[in-house]
Amino acid sequence: MRLRTVSWWFTRRAVVLDGIDLDVRAGECVVVRGLNGSGKTTLARVGAGALIPKRGQVERTARISYVPQASDNPPIRLRTDRFLSALARVRGIEASSESVDALGLRTAMRRPLNELSTGTITKVLIAAGVSGAPELLVCDEPFADLDTAARAALHELLERLRAGGTAILLTDHSDESHDFADRELLLENGKFA
C-alpha cells in the first residue's frame, strides 16, 4: 500500500489528515500510534479504501481486509456464522474456521450480532478480516476491548499473516503491538511526527 500526500478534512478548519506519505510493503507490519483525535481511524479508513482522500493518491493491492473499531453495537439480527459466511462470499473466499477457533468464538457463532458484547464483536470483525489471507490488512485499534487470551490469539494470527506476506497497517494506543511492529509511527494532528 502506498499513500502519497494524502489529506482528508471535514472542513478547511478541521483537517484530519494533512499530506500523509506512507508505504507498507508485503510482509511488513506498520503500527501508527497517536492520541485520541490524532487521525488514526481516518488514516486506517483511507488506507483500507473505506474513505476516499480529499487530496493525494492511494495505491493498494486487490485483496484488502479491514478490521474497524467495534465502537457501536450493530443493528443486525444476523447470526454470527451467517454473517461470516456471507462476508466471505462477498469477498470471494472460503469462510475460515481457524480464526474462529483461535479467537474462542465458537459459542458466539449461533448468536445474533446485536446480542454480542463489544469485545466479541471485535473478535468477529477480526475473524472476518484475517480469513482468506488478504494481501493488505488494515486494523483500527484491534487490541481494544479484547481479553488476554484473545490478544495472544490476535498476536499469533497477525504473525502468521505477516509471515505469509500480508502487509499490515495497525493503529494502536497500547503497547501490545510494540513487539512485532516493523515500524512505529506517531500521528500528531494529522501529520507524522
Binding residues (CB under 8 A) for other proteins: these are 45, 48-52, 64-78, 82, 86-87, 89-92, 112, 125, 128-129, 138
Minimal distance, residue 187 CB to other proteins, in Å: 19
How far is residue 27's CA from residue 60's CA, in Å, rounded to a whole number? 14
Minimal distance, residue 27 CB to other proteins, in Å: 21
User: Minimal CA–CA distance to 98: which of 70, 74, 127?
Assistant: 127
- CB-nearer residue toward other proteins: 26 or 86: 86
- CB-nearer residue toward other proteins: 36 or 92: 92
Minimal distance, residue 102 CB to other proteins, in Å: 19
Judge whether 63 and 104 are in contact, CB under 8 Å.
no
Judge residue 18's burial from the number of C-beta atoms within 10 Å of its C-beta, 0-12 exposed, 13-18 middle, 19 or more buried: middle
How far is residue 120's CA from residue 76's CA, in Å, rounded to a whole number? 14
Minimal distance, residue 179 CB to other proteins, in Å: 27
- For residue 41, the number of C-alpha atoms closer than 13 Å in the C-beta half-sphere is 9
- CB-nearer residue toward other proteins: 78 or 186: 78
Judge residue 178's burial from the number of C-beta atoms within 10 Å of its C-beta, 0-12 exposed, 13-18 middle, 19 or more buried: exposed
- CB within 8 A of 14, min separation 6: which ones? none
- Angle CA(170)–CA(178)–CA(50) in degrees, nearest 5? 5
Minimal distance, residue 118 CB to other proteins, in Å: 10
- CB-nearer residue toward other proteins: 34 or 83: 83
Minimal distance, residue 65 CB to other proteins, in Å: 7
- CB-nearer residue toward other proteins: 129 or 190: 129
- CB-nearer residue toward other proteins: 49 or 56: 49
Count the Cβ atoms, other than its own, within 10 Å of residue 15.
17
